[in-house]
Homo-oligomer: A and B are copies of this chain.
Amino acid sequence: MKAKAEQLPSKQNFSEWYHEIIQKAEIMDVRYPVKGLYVWYPFGFKIRQLVYSKLRELHDRDHDEVYFPALIPETELGKEGQHIKGFEDEVYWVTHGGLDPLDVKLALRPTSETAIYPIFKLWIRSHADLPLKIYQIVNTFRYETKHTRPLIRLREITSFKEAHTAHKNFEEAEEQVKEAIKLYKEFYDFLAIPYMVIRRPEWDKFPGAAYTIAFDTIMPDGKTMQIGTVHNLADNFARTFEIEYEDIDGEHKFVNQTCYGISERCIAALLSIHGDDLGLILPFEVSPIQIVIIPILYKGKEEKVLKASKMVLEKLKEFRVVLDDSEDRPGAKYYKWELKGVPMRIEIGPKEADENSVVVSFRDEKKKFKISMDEINSELVLQWAKEFKDRIKNKAIGWMKEKVRYFEDLNDLADWITKGVGLTHLCKNVDCGMKVEEEVKGNVLGWFEELNWIDAEIDGECIICGGKGKLVAIAKTY
């Protein structure tokens, strides 16, 4: 299971870099014998556990975790007209059990609305049962015919977190949409991943939703990747699946629903946005190994150096620390742990052992500094971890700012979106949206819900019709 110590391609060639790092850093093994299916290596799986623990923690504040079946009968999946139209081309169908054909075909869930909502009908009786907020983390399936890619576009999404909520009315569902956005912001801030919060245009919303708000981030090649979506379903599914409650006044009313999801694309973004030509750069909290201690061994001084190294190991044992006392050269060790994204490195040579000091460096910086061993403690490490995250986050935001430009000219916009995200103003007229997409050969991601790190004016004239427009993002997308 050892990765070979070959040079990574430069991150400038993002597609190659990504392909190589996924395999070499032992995130996923891409050699499974079915297109679009991949194997989580132990190291990758640990990152997944750490990232999804945070996602669980955030949801557990006021959602209950549940599990619904992976198989959905064709009859249920087909009930909501828009919904099935949105998914029918990419559903995997189970048609046989053993050698027998099944009476009713079963879909491998592409998403679980139609598995969950028939049960919501049974769980919800009165206003006292509302709001109902549940989530699950499950594998979902899409028959992708396009080019597949680990964590980004795959046939088994192994780690789909989907939340589903039911409320008394549209306003409360809308409040929940805002809550979900807040939750996702907290999650991506935790991962130091910058995002744009964007309301999708009508033609790109979730099939069956009243509206969709998406989180998009910008990948190293300038294309955007959707890393989370929040849907207000209004009472569309409630009407289809007859999910009613008895209100205080005794009246029977349809619930209003929301659903919101994040897949392992959050990990694709984590790896891609922070990584560099040497490998991964992982925030302290989600790095399987947080600190690596490298003893610099010279003949005759091994014992002293190892003793000092073990003292540091002991001091830091509450963290995920590795003391790399293997026989590799220090250079090979640096290479290995840089590739894996370990945020902090501590080196100890004979000089440091004598001085009772250590040399500290961070994965994102070239510089090293010396510090007395006595000064090292948990608080200091956590302070370093915080500063580390601030640095990589600011770096990512700085880089993304370079990748986002405002345009008033369609041709310039069309040129730019081969490299980054174009901003312009657009009215809500579908024809204007379609015209832009056609002209620039890109996707209207939609209208900004909030600007965060984006410098631009929300209001302006529609680039097509000159009418009243709002700021939109346009990009090539994953």
Contacts and interface: CB of A to CB of B under 8 A. Distances in A.
Interface of A: 1, 29, 31-34, 37-42, 45-46, 48-49, 64-71, 73, 75-76, 88-100, 104, 106, 108, 115, 118-119, 122-123, 129, 132, 134, 138-139, 141, 143, 145, 155-156, 158
Contacts of A108: 94, 108
A211 to B, nearest CB: 27
A71 B134 contact: no
Contact of A71 (B34, B45, B75, B106): B34
B34 A106 contact: yes
Contacts of A143: 97-98, 100
Contact of A33 (B31, B33, B64, B73): B73
Given A33-B76, A88-B99, A89-B99, A42 B64 contact: yes
A29 B69 CA distance: 11
Contacts of A1: 123, 129, 132
User: What 10 pairs between A and B have smallest CB-CB spacing?
Assistant: A97-B143, A42-B64, A40-B67, A37-B69, A93-B96, A89-B98, A95-B95, A1-B123, A92-B94, A98-B143
Given A33-B73, A73-B34, A39 B119 contact: yes
5 contacts: A42-B66, A48-B67, A67-B158, A71-B155, A88-B99
Contacts of A41: 66
B88 A92 contact: no
A119 to B, nearest CB: 6
B65 A39 contact: no
B38 A65 contact: no
Interface centre among A38, A48, A108 (most CB of B within 10 A): A108
Given A49-B65, A69-B39, A156-B71, A92 B97 contact: yes
A33 B117 CA distance: 11
A464 B439 CA distance: 86
A32 B114 CA distance: 11
A92 to B, nearest CB: 5
A42 B34 CA distance: 35
Contacts of A37: 69, 71
Interface centre among A65, A92, A129 (most CB of B within 10 A): A92
A142 to B, nearest CB: 9
Given A31-B119, A33-B118, A122-B29, A67 B39 contact: yes
Contacts of A76: 33
A141 B145 CA distance: 25
Contacts of A139: 70, 138-139
Contacts of A122: 29, 31
Contacts of A70: 70, 139, 141, 156
A104 B96 CA distance: 14
Contact of A93 (B68, B73, B95, B119): B95
Interface centre among A65, A69, A138 (most CB of B within 10 A): A69
Contacts of A99: 88-89
A99 to B, nearest CB: 7
Contacts of A155: 71
Given A34-B71, A122-B29, A66 B40 contact: yes
Contacts of A66: 39-42, 45
A207 B65 CA distance: 35
Interface centre among A40, A132, A145 (most CB of B within 10 A): A40
A69 B119 contact: no
A152 to B, nearest CB: 16
Nearest to A143: B97
Given A32-B68, A89-B98, 12 more contacts: A29-B123, A32-B119, A34-B106, A37-B71, A41-B66, A42-B64, A42-B134, A45-B65, A45-B66, A88-B98, A91-B97, A93-B95
